[in-house]
Amino acid sequence: MATLRVESIGGLRARVRAAREEGKSIGCVPTMGALHAGHAALIDRARGDCGFVVATLFVNPMQFNERADLERYPRSLEADLAVCRRRGVDVLFVPAETEMYPRRATTFVDVEGLTDVLCGAFRPGHFRGVTTVVMKLLHIVVPDRAYFGEKDYQQLAVIRRMVEDLNLPVEIVSAATVREPDGLALSSRNRNLTAEQRAAALALPRALQAARRAVAAGERNAAALRRAAQRWFDREPLLRLEYFEIVDPESLQQVERIAGPVRIAAAAWAGKTRLIDNVAAG
């Protein structure tokens, strides 16, 4: 099936309007490209739920803390278009930076509290960039449903909260993290790993799975879980742990004594590549 590549907001709105007039519901899968099986799972979900599927591809400068990180972000437009075609995406929206930000932005969306912890504590301004661009995309596409992966668990929680707080008429649908057979969570950034870093990166899912199993076996002390996790990273000189936290799944506030469901989330650096992952426990 043909995927139409659209670069202008006006062009996209015209396509979506036509689909609505045909009585189709609209699904939106926002991405920054370098599509992998995790994105494909979100597209498949949208395809199953909605009559018309829009994927967006915009490497959003506002959510990058450093210019160098933005420049290093993998880009593969032709391969991304091929993924969209194979999965039956109707429109791939690929706006230029000048289309999304024709002038220096002066209006932003800030979700307080949820964005101060976990990745937000280490990436000031990142979530403001995410929520601002997602808000813009939701206004441009006006989908019935928008799809986000659980791999970016904090992003998902922040977007859900924004939608709730601002009464946006969209259903946020999430999909489970897709992993390589050895457990590494799929991420566009994995493309930047050397073979040695890729092998070392396995400490991240392994530490999380070990913590999940420890909770299932009765461990209730978050500090003990953090200490055990640190040992996985101590054995991997190519990997530097940034945080390993046990948090409430909704408020994302740190939990010291586990008394119900929690999310265990971690971030680590392999060279200049930042990796994140999380699991549910409790």
| Residues of this chain that bind ligand PAF (CB under 6 A) | 30-32, 60, 63, 130, 133-134, 152, 155
CA dihedral 10, 26, 151, 94 (to 10 degrees): -20
Q: Which residue is nearest to ligand PAF (CB)?
A: 30
What token pair was written down for 246?
């046990």
39 is catalytic: yes
Tell the smallest beta-carbon distance from residue 81 to ligand PAF (Å): 17
Give the number of other Cβ atoms within 10 Å of residue 128's Cβ: 18
Beta strands per DSSP E along the chain: 4-6, 26-31, 52-57, 91-93, 145-149, 171-175, 240-247, 262-270, 273-281
Tell the smallest beta-carbon distance from residue 223 to ligand PAF (Å): 31
Tell the smallest beta-carbon distance from residue 151 to ligand PAF (Å): 8
Q: Where are the alpha helices (DSSP H) in 116-269?
A: 119-122, 126-141, 153-165, 195-200, 203-216, 222-234
Tell the smallest beta-carbon distance from residue 188 to ligand PAF (Å): 8
When the beta carbons of 35 and 203 are compared against ligand PAF, the nearer one is 35
When the beta carbons of 55 and 214 are compared against ligand PAF, the nearer one is 55
Residue length of the chain: 282
Choosing from 36, 39, 126, 139, the catalytic residue is 39
Separation of alpha carbons 34 and 188, rounded Å: 5
Separation of alpha carbons 169 and 66, rounded Å: 33
Residues 6 or more apart whose Cβ sits within 8 Å of residue 78: none
Tell the smallest beta-carbon distance from residue 57 to ligand PAF (Å): 9
When the beta carbons of 140 and 225 are compared against ligand PAF, the nearer one is 140
When the beta carbons of 31 and 273 are compared against ligand PAF, the nearer one is 31
Sign of the dihedral defined by the CA atoms of residues 155, 160, 161, 165, in that order? positive
When the beta carbons of 94 and 130 are compared against ligand PAF, the nearer one is 130
- Host H or E run for residue 166: none
- Look at residue 183 and give its three-state secondary structure: coil
Catalytic residues: 39
